[in-house]
């Protein structure tokens, strides 16, 4: 071994620079940054600021990226993340967002956290919104002994009448406010709860 190589080896110098290994170099860089020491970043490194509210960012990303994981636990008030059981109170924007605890209590999110989560919640709500199309759902009419019943699985009301038309008319007036606008004065229709 030549004396210069031996001297370089003893002093810890190497002729060629060490190859860049991303995992090791970044760990050393991170420890230096956490310690507050100045350091030189490798060429092409992108520095990204850490999020100020990581929990809010995770919730918003989950609602935005995996909307099928979220469902109503109390329609109009509480959303549940079905894989984890995390419950989010979303009643209205004025009241604010809150985490619902298993004992029934709530932990409110701060205003900056709500500003991160609300756009994702509003997007989820907009996708799940079902508007009234003006068309009544498909109904089923059955009859026995001169009495006809009209009902649909989606609604808890059944219309009763002496003819299929009368039963359908009673049922449509029970479930549709638009149909009720067409009722005659002093007209009475027989409607029963289908849940009994």
pLDDT in tens, 9-66: 666 666 555 555 555 556 666 777 777 777 777 777 777 777 788 899 999 999 999 9
Whether 134 is in a domain gets the answer no
Q: Are 73 and 26 part of one and the same domain?
A: no
* Matching residue, tokens 């190859």: 19
Q: Is residue 109 part of a domain?
A: yes
163 and 110 both lie in a single domain: no
**Residue 14 resides in a domain:** yes
Q: Which domain holds residue 34?
A: 1-48
Residue 71 lies in a domain: yes
Mean pLDDT of 134-154: 84
Do 44 and 60 belong together in one domain?
Answer: no
Mean pLDDT of 121-136: 70
Q: CB count, 10 Å around CB of 165?
A: 12
* pLDDT, averaged across the chain: 78
Of 48, 63, 79, the residue at which a domain comes to its end is: 48
Could you give the percent of the chain with pLDDT greater than 90? 9
Q: Which residues of 3-26 are buried (b: 16+ CB within 10 A; e: fewer)?
A: eeeeeeeeeeeeeeeeeeeeeeee
Q: How high is the pLDDT of residue 174?
A: 81
- Distance separating alpha carbons of residues 183 and 173, to the nearest angstrom: 8
Sheet containing 98-100: which strands, arranged edge to edge? 70-74, 78-81, 86-89, 98-100, 106-108
Instruction: Please say whether the beta carbons of 73 and 79 come within 8 A.
Output: yes
What is residue 63's predicted lDDT score, i.e. its pLDDT? 92
Average pLDDT of the residues in 135-143: 84
Look at residue 173 and tell me if it is in a domain: yes
Whether 41 and 59 share a structural domain: no
Question: Do 77 and 101 belong to one domain?
Answer: yes
Q: Do residues 74 and 123 share a domain?
A: yes
In a domain, 135, yes or no: no
Overall number of domains in the chain:
3
**Co-location of 154 and 105 in the same domain:** no
């Amino acid at each position: 071994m030549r004396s210069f190589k031996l001297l370089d080896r003893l002093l810890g110098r190497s002729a060629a620079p060490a190859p860049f290994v991303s995992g090791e170099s970044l760990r050393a860089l991170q420890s230096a940054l956490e310690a507050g020491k100045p350091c030189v970043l490798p060429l092409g490194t992108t520095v990204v600021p850490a999020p100020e509210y990581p929990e809010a960012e995770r919730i918003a990303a989950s609602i935005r990226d995996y909307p099928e994981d979220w469902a109503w636990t109390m329609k109009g008030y509480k959303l549940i993340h079905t894989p984890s059981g995390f419950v989010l109170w979303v009643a209205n924007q004025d009241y604010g967002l809150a985490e619902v605890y298993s004992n029934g209590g709530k932990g409110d999110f701060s205003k900056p956290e709500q500003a991160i989560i609300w756009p994702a919640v509003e997007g989820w709500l907009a996708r799940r919104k079902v508007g009234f199309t003006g068309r009544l759902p498909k109904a089923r009419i059955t009859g026995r002994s001169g009495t006809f019943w009209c009902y649909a699985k989606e609604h808890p009301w059944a219309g009763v009448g002496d003819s299929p038309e009368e039963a359908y008319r009673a049922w449509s007036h029970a479930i549709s406010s638009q149909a009720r606008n067409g009722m005659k004065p002093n007209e009475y229709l027989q409607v029963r709860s289908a849940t009994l």
